[in-house]
Structure 1
């Protein structure tokens, strides 16, 4: 049967079959080893879509409805050439297409890491005509001939401030009603469409999704790698399901791109992982994420970071408050110490940084934006406060104390914004800021948004970072972002932002960067490929953090996912263990008033960090699984597992938050039928045992937490 396809490309873990001889070239099938072949090529090819769909101004979609699939231009693109290559562990394929009416040349670029069932794609469009054209949408990856909606479930992840990574599932047919194609000759116009809008790309939902086949467990899991806007759509075509992944579009995001003759546009990357069930596809996607990110020692070392913000100083740092915290953090075992928001605040007033408004991942203070005081609308120069750090050495005395205690100093920074009262607001030209269509600057909550495509904006940030890192010796930057905009030019700005950040890391290769956007509202694949850490949430309630911590590895590899652990002196021993336990299978973001703890309490913190340091070397190689399934927001029991490939080691972290039943069974399919040793690493419990297929745990009290290591 496969001989009927004109071209096959792939490797040991992934095969893509193309029909390039058709009038409209198509990607017919995407499979992994062991998947059965369709009965005939015609059966698979009948539901396939063009390799790409593009809409241009004045040419419409070719379909009466909101869907962007089936565009007029997509049907006109013919095969001109294709080229395959291999290098640095990646397989590449470029298919060149030509508009039959002339003018546009389209390059569909596929890539896949060797031995990993993930397909990455983007589209490059070149105007080879003699008149400008306006692009209104372009798919990054378009795939048809997936199974019927009758057998598929669709998975999405709500991602809200303080409540990130909340996956939910429904049958795809619920959104794609069977309208009786045999009677009408057409598929329905319904589709599952999900869009992220603005410079918080994961505000509302993660830029991800998945389809699973209820009949055989196959899963297709995807991410769209954009720090700006994105769109994905799943619909029905000839009894099959199609999937379209893209960046911003005209109808959903008011985006367009004018291409003058000779100009090019490149879409955002999208990646599709295949696997046996959601956990299997996420294993492949985790491997892929590690391969596309820039190398950095932090990904292997996983140092413990103390940050003074969450449930501690809350944006009100001073020398007097910081020095005892620094000593206590060092005594507990922290390796980095980050001074969070407020270090630049020289305004008169209480400066407590917790005025009415969004706390936004690090000291979002007064949000009034009317020039009425407070540091919120005056930031931009990023110079230390003499009021907060008096004396001849000022803030440098604090940074020096951090180094004296054997830790690396860090600072919070919100580089993309300039407050309306900041001198920078008038010193920088208008062109250095994002502006609306009429040339009016973007102003959100008393702040302007820099445009990193402009050299003046980039030079300002270069001077800032080179001063903090190169002159002051700061080794950690928490880069926060607490406004959001959908202004024109956003896509170009976010690409320039990531380019700028990459250049910073080239100049300062030892610098560690945390990406934060009011917690996890900028938790996108493009940013994660550059930054070393990702803030997962601003959640301040330790009882509400477990479902976030457990589901965070769906969006970010465990060695990059920063989870707050903020034990307090008023906590019981069990409460201290609970909040610390939530971070032990991710990146420990330690906080809390350690300086006010008793020696016994500080000893509990130190013991937890000793445990973390013993397991973190495995985390950077591990892949997640969920013994109880992906957590629900109100679940009484939550569990996260980490399996270390090629080692007979598995970690299982379980939280009991509520409920009357003190016992739970935690399946681990990869260990079924094997003899397993169980070691309790953190927390206390009743009986804990492996029964041949599941870990059986008794936690007599709620709330409580337990971390175990399973060894074959």
Structure 2
């Protein structure tokens, strides 16, 4: 957000007991408690008039620091000493570039610490974004161990809530599960003990793969009340969220890295500042609506780029195809076949630089093409062939790593790499660059400017296949978690600089699939790899759930048809990608004509609907997909509700299924089966309330377009 506030004003420095803030889609009420702390008493959508309990509200900011501990909190991130002392001093508000903003200034007299809670919300969306800026206005240094990004108390009691969280593992991303919040936060009879429970449901992400283990997000749904809350922590490194019980209600706390979980600490000398990673919270009447609001918010915070509306078809030679072994002889026929199938970008994946008989894994870093792999005309001849066939050339790159056998490992200064206790870190035969160091950044700038500027490459797949935990401790880093967060922010700043210099470049974010599927990185990169999953039967639950984490137009889903597949399996692997960013692969050059025709038909369908995908909001008629579900369904709802798309997968069970589509219920609609091309019209029938589909074989897939005729 940039620009000058067009409606800014500063409220009186005299303390007010209560004030409101928000816009047409979101309302917030704040109150000053008896101890002087400011609390967010109520956050709701218009029309939600349920009463709020001020006693259940939390201080606007909680933090811990050496010498300033916690109160009655246990593993919870509430009840800190600072939280009870940071008194409301003043606040200001305004509107800037379509965003409402509110900055609240809090001050602790004991230490001199000033905290600025910076709240923003895009007009028209029920989403709150929050971060906290700390400034040490005291006379002594302060070592901060944790600080909240967003806190919300006064939620319904745990008995009324279900919590949703997503396992996110290599080859098994976006696996959501649901359980009652009470299963983690036991009812201890707080009235008898005159204290809140110490229990909390705590989830964390660690290391340089921020979404390894879990997505950096979660959700709550009210079982009977018709409300849902979905959140994300926008950290490119460590994060934490916790849910607990307070004053007969529930609370939510969002944090970046902490000392306890991530070995993160920062020292603030007098006058120094630190700003947390943002946290975002979306509200809705149900889970689908809240997920939709978060999708719109993600579109609002990301870096503008033509790719977000053009959605070109990408062919990548890796998955189930060349698998890191590209050569001129292998690539040229693939390039021709990909162009014939309708691809618009062709990305040469890993291995193009490999000229080492001992293998490239621990020798990467110079990023020069292999003469052995490209003997006639070098890699330029291959890139030229891609352009001659009307496609934009792309290359795979793993910029942050340098192999231990690479000459770059000796050429760059030791301070340009991750280190602990003065020892350069090594992980799987690689060193990790620290992008805060100018030599590391200069090395990568030179590399990318050569590949993009000199070679004319228009697409970079930026991968990252090692994980460093807890981080690095360069001179000036108080703890390795702080070094890791500093590098992660420097990496995103470097990537933004690359895109500033090369505005037409398209960047795909990949970390062994979806191990960096975080909101901070998604706000900079144009595409996000959703998985490395090579089994076409196991990809659908990932593809169906991916829009929980990434807008559909950014979520790259592999479609790797093979000449050895029967027609149904070819249609299956293609159909699973049509409501995301289709990433073609497979030995298309070895296919029979009728097989290649199936690929062309699917690509043409994708091109006919991609303009809608860039605006559509996801929903899940069968609920969030389970890893072993026999039926899976993903819907995309185009604004205005005239057009709705449904992808339906059958892996088992009865051949017929009735799918509720609530926003169209009670109206007339036309159902058109767009994929596969051999499907019959009667395989998808709208009856005025729901869509009945029939998929006779397994595995089977349908892409259906519902057009409202109201």
* Shift in Å, 1:21: 5.9
RMSD, aligned CA: 1.0
Query: 1:72 aligns to what SS in structure 2?
Result: coil
Report whether the alignment pairs 1:656 with 2:678. Answer: no
- CA deviations over 1:626-646 (Å, ceiling 9, x no partner): 111111100111011110012
Choose from 23, 38, 45 the match for 1:32.
45
Match of residue 687 from structure 2: 691
Match of residue 265 from structure 2: 256
Distance in 2 (CA, whole Å) between partners of 1:44 and 1:217 is 19
Match of residue 518 from structure 1: 512
Match of residue 357 from structure 1: none
Match of residue 369 from structure 1: none
Match of residue 475 from structure 2: none
Counterpart contact for 2:684–2:704, Cα < 8 Å: no
Distance in 2 (CA, whole Å) between partners of 1:317 and 1:219 is 48
Counterpart contact for 1:6–1:21, Cα < 8 Å: no
Distance in 2 (CA, whole Å) between partners of 1:194 and 1:644 is 33
Match of residue 32 from structure 2: 20
Match of residue 98 from structure 2: 89
- CA deviations over 1:594-638 (Å, ceiling 9, x no partner): 010111111110010000000000000000111111111001110
- CA deviations over 1:16-43 (Å, ceiling 9, x no partner): 10013641111111010110141xxxx6
Match of residue 390 from structure 2: 406
Distance in 2 (CA, whole Å) between partners of 1:613 and 1:688 is 22
Distance in 1 (CA, whole Å) between partners of 2:606 and 2:198 is 51
- After the TM superposition, which residues 80-229 of structure 1 pair with which residues of structure 2 at under 5 Å, given as runs? 80-229=89-238
- After the TM superposition, which residues 457-476 of structure 1 pair with which residues of structure 2 at under 5 Å, given as runs? 457-476=440-459
Distance in 1 (CA, whole Å) between partners of 2:697 and 2:77 is 53
Distance in 1 (CA, whole Å) between partners of 2:116 and 2:684 is 56
Distance in 2 (CA, whole Å) between partners of 1:200 and 1:282 is 23
Distance in 2 (CA, whole Å) between partners of 1:222 and 1:474 is 36
Report whether the alignment pairs 1:380 with 2:365. Answer: yes
* Shift in Å, 1:441: 1.5
* Shift in Å, 1:693: 1.2
Match of residue 439 from structure 1: 422
* Shift in Å, 1:105: 0.6
Distance in 2 (CA, whole Å) between partners of 1:59 and 1:216 is 39
Distance in 1 (CA, whole Å) between partners of 2:50 and 2:652 is 48
Counterpart contact for 1:7–1:20, Cα < 8 Å: no
- CA deviations over 1:552-599 (Å, ceiling 9, x no partner): 000000000000000000111111100000000000000000010111
Counterpart contact for 2:641–2:663, Cα < 8 Å: no
* Shift in Å, 1:64: 5.2
* Shift in Å, 1:647: 4.6
Match of residue 562 from structure 2: 568
Report whether the alignment pairs 1:587 with 2:587. Answer: no
* Shift in Å, 1:102: 3.6
Report whether the alignment pairs 1:710 with 2:695. Answer: no
Distance in 2 (CA, whole Å) between partners of 1:531 and 1:266 is 22
Query: 1:345 aligns to what SS in structure 2?
Result: coil
Query: 1:559 aligns to what SS in structure 2?
Result: helix
- CA deviations over 1:75-108 (Å, ceiling 9, x no partner): 0001111000101000000000000214211000
Counterpart contact for 1:688–1:697, Cα < 8 Å: yes
Q: 1:405 to 1:225 in 2, by over 3 A?
A: same
Gaps of 5+ in 1: 349-372
Distance in 2 (CA, whole Å) between partners of 1:232 and 1:98 is 25
- CA deviations over 1:399-421 (Å, ceiling 9, x no partner): 00000000000000000000111
Report whether the alignment pairs 1:9 with 2:9. Answer: no
- After the TM superposition, which residues 437-516 of structure 1 pair with which residues of structure 2 at under 5 Å, given as runs? 438-485=421-468, 486-487=470-471, 488=480, 489-516=483-510
Gaps of 5+ in 2: 1-15, 472-479
Query: 1:410 aligns to what SS in structure 2?
Result: strand
Choose from 611, 616, 636 the match for 1:617.
611
Distance in 1 (CA, whole Å) between partners of 2:55 and 2:398 is 51
Distance in 2 (CA, whole Å) between partners of 1:97 and 1:52 is 9
Distance in 2 (CA, whole Å) between partners of 1:600 and 1:509 is 39
Query: 2:423 aligns to what SS in structure 1?
Result: coil
- CA deviations over 1:401-459 (Å, ceiling 9, x no partner): 000000000000000000111111111111111111x1212211011111111100000
Query: 2:553 aligns to what SS in structure 1?
Result: coil
Query: 1:443 aligns to what SS in structure 2?
Result: coil
Counterpart contact for 1:187–1:238, Cα < 8 Å: yes
Distance in 2 (CA, whole Å) between partners of 1:554 and 1:168 is 13
TM-score, length of structure 2 as denominator length: 0.95
Distance in 2 (CA, whole Å) between partners of 1:545 and 1:242 is 35
Distance in 1 (CA, whole Å) between partners of 2:683 and 2:453 is 53
* Shift in Å, 1:63: 2.5
Q: How many residues align?
A: 678
